[in-house]
Amino acid sequence: MLEIIVFLPLIAALAIALGAPARFTALSASAFALVLSLVLAIQFDLTKEGGFQFESARPLLDIGGFPDLSLSFGIDGISLVLLLLATIVMLSAVWVAPGEKQIKGSSKLYYLSLLLIGGGAIGAFCSTDLFFLYAFHELALIPTFLMIGIFGHGENRVKTAWTITIYLGVGSLILLVGLIMALVGVGADTFNIEEIIALAKSPETAIAAGEQKWIFGILLVGFGILVSLFPFHSWAAPAYSDAPEPVAMLHAGVLKKFGLYGLIRIAMPMLPAGMEALTNVLLVLLLGNIIYLGLVTIAQKKLDRMLGYSSVMHMGYVFLGIAAANHLGVSGAVLLMFAHGISIALLFALCGWVRENYGTVDFEKLGGIASHVPKLGLLFGFAAFASAGLPGFANFAAEVAIFFGAFKGAEDGIGWIQWATIIALWGVVISAVYMLRAYRSIFLGECSKTLSAPADMTWAARLPILLLLVALLVVGFVPEILNQFIRPAVEGLFLVKAG
């Protein structure tokens, strides 16, 4: 079943290329992938601490002197949560995409690109072979570049497409160098992730502490560029604002989580001494995301650019949970990856509706539209509250776990991570400021006479929005729905006990 989920979007993309109805095929494949992912969640063995489930392996290459290569898949609680994130957002992104006749250009290319982005992310999260984990991510990047350059917004979309290509291409190359160094360091003759981590934890094959520092630094830069860690962030906001909204939903909501997943899955368990040595550096960088980029977000005057910087800012909280390096912090980081992915996809979907119906997302040209479109105003209010971390939404539950995780051990004295957390808490205030400012600018006040008054959101437009909103509320009120999967995976991966 897991192989079906991984390859279903890719097969559907191929079918569209060969002439199948684009929108119907993409919607059907996305919906079926989500249903199968929910079935896997129901069948998941919660009594097993760590390790992959639903495993499959198909050997591809066994040559002496080269690591064994296998097309292998499996999921633990961490990758299951990210699989659910990917399938929920992929269905919503395809759902809110324009109809085939409304797309200026090839509708086949549009829809198959969305499937390739979503399918690449799913493949990366489900791969238990390091080679294919990397390869599936690269597969998803190619249609991202094309979609921005061909179907994006604004006059600078081609320049933006080239910028993101260069940034993420360099990041991927740096990441590849770090992964090769890690493989060579443990003397691995396989790409199997579990076997590689076992070698890294064995006293006989573990990488020396001094070497770990360099390798972890390279991986942090490589993964950090892909995640838009400060100061490698400048590609992200323009890319999301110029991209078609379904692409922004998929990349900001799902694909960007690959770098965070890689740090948790590979870098932390393989290179614990390296991470410990560079924790203070990571703390400084993540504060750049939260505080500096939070202030930059406040200064934005267009909704799409504000959401782009907001997405970059919130990555700092996930890095804080990773830097905590304990069960509670890392569990909160995984939960926030899900919550942020859903909430930013929801906001970009609503931003696309505003752009399509009002022809602008400029705050100065909007205002007072809640009187015309109250349903949109209500949904955007929920989305804004979720992003700002209001209680009742998944974002709040995740951020609280991260903050408490970062403060574990403070009874012995306030350390650098606790001071960083105190500073990072101001990001909650910053988030509330720019989200409430955006809501006021768009929906409240006097409506501009130059704006036409479109009909409010129809049920067809609201259903994919409600799918995302319900996911945020359900997990927000009952975070144990996902924590029951995350907790055993974190305990098994890092060999720590809950507390």
Proportion of the chain in helix, strand, coil states, percent, rounded to 5: 75, 5, 20
Domain boundaries, the chain: 2-494
Say if residue 105 is exposed, middle or buried (CB neighbours under 10 Å; 0-12, 13-18, 19+): exposed
Give which of 405, 416, 256 is closest to 333, Cα–Cα.
405
Q: What is the helix (H) or strand (E) element at residue 55, kind and residue range?
A: strand 53-61
Residue by residue, pLDDT tens for the chain (499 residues) are 899 999 999 999 999 999 899 899 999 999 999 999 999 999 998 887 778 889 888 887 776 667 778 889 999 999 999 999 999 999 999 999 988 888 888 889 999 999 999 999 999 999 999 999 999 999 998 899 899 988 888 788 888 888 888 999 999 999 999 999 988 888 888 888 888 888 888 888 888 888 889 999 999 999 999 998 998 888 888 889 889 999 999 999 999 999 999 999 999 988 888 988 998 999 999 999 999 999 999 999 999 999 999 999 999 999 999 998 888 999 999 999 999 999 999 999 999 988 888 888 888 888 788 888 889 999 999 999 999 889 999 999 999 999 998 888 666 777 888 889 999 999 999 999 999 999 998 888 777 666 777 777 888 888 999 999 999 999 999 999 999 999 888 887 765 333 3
Cβ-based neighbours of 385, under 8 Å, separated by 6 or more = 393, 435
Q: Please, which residues bridge with residue 32 across strands?
A: none
SS3 488: helix
Q: What is the helix (H) or strand (E) element at residue 172, kind and residue range?
A: helix 157-186
Q: How many C-beta atoms lie closer than 10 Å to residue 137's C-beta?
A: 24
